[in-house]
Structures are given as C-alpha cells and as structure tokens.
C-alpha cells in the first residue's frame, strides 16, 4: 500500500480528517482521537512525533516545562517556540 492509499484508508476509517487548507492550497490533515483505538500504529507514530518535536523545542530553549501540584506538565512556549511549533504542526489551526 502506497502513502496515498494509506492516507485514504485512514480518512475512510476516521483516523485522519482534513483540518484545513494551507496558504499554498495544500490540504492539512489531523489525526483524530479515534485513531488511538482504530489505528494504534498511526496513533503511536503521531505521539512519537509530538514527543520528539517538543523535546527538540525544549533543547533549543523555546519551551519551558513546569509541573503543577498534581504532577501534570504545563508547557509554555516562547514566541519563537510558538512559531516553530506551528511549523511543526503542533499548534491547531484555530489558535
């Protein structure tokens, strides 16, 4: 199965949805929460990408991570970090 076929399959089963269109006219896709159950391999790859991307932003000094009293991570991005996160696809279009 080639990449286009795989993308179409994920769209058909609801693991991926079109989130918008870029300024260049390209479709922007979003991994849905449903993917966690119906396409666990896609969900894991997605989570790995997010973790790696956040770590690279952290190492570059663009992210500050603190923890609240419940040990939940609070991630704060610098202005540069926000722009980098957008380019990496980590920020929703609506933000």
Q: Is 20 left (phi over 0), alpha (psi -120 to 50) or beta?
A: left
Residue 27, CA distances (Å) to 47, 65, 81 in order: 21, 32, 24
At residue 21, the pLDDT reads 85
Q: What is the dihedral of CA 34, 73, 54, 94, to 10 degrees?
A: 60
What number of residues does the chain have? 95
Per-residue pLDDT reduced to its tens digit, 46-73 = 999 999 998 999 999 999 889 999 999 8
Per-residue pLDDT reduced to its tens digit, 16-44 = 999 888 788 888 899 999 999 999 999 99
- Predicted TM-score of the model (pTM): 0.76
Domain ranges of the chain: 1-38, 39-90
């Amino acid at each position: 199965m080639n990449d286009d076929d795989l993308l179409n399959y994920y769209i058909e089963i609801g693991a991926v949805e079109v989130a918008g269109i870029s300024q260049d006219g390209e479709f922007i896709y979003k991994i849905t929460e449903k993917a966690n159950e119906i396409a666990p391999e896609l969900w894991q790859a997605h989570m790995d990408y997010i973790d790696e991307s956040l770590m690279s932003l952290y190492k570059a000094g663009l992210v500050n991570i603190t923890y609240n009293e419940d040990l939940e991570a609070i991630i704060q991005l610098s202005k540069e970090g926000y722009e980098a996160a957008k380019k990496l696809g980590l920020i929703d279009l609506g933000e």
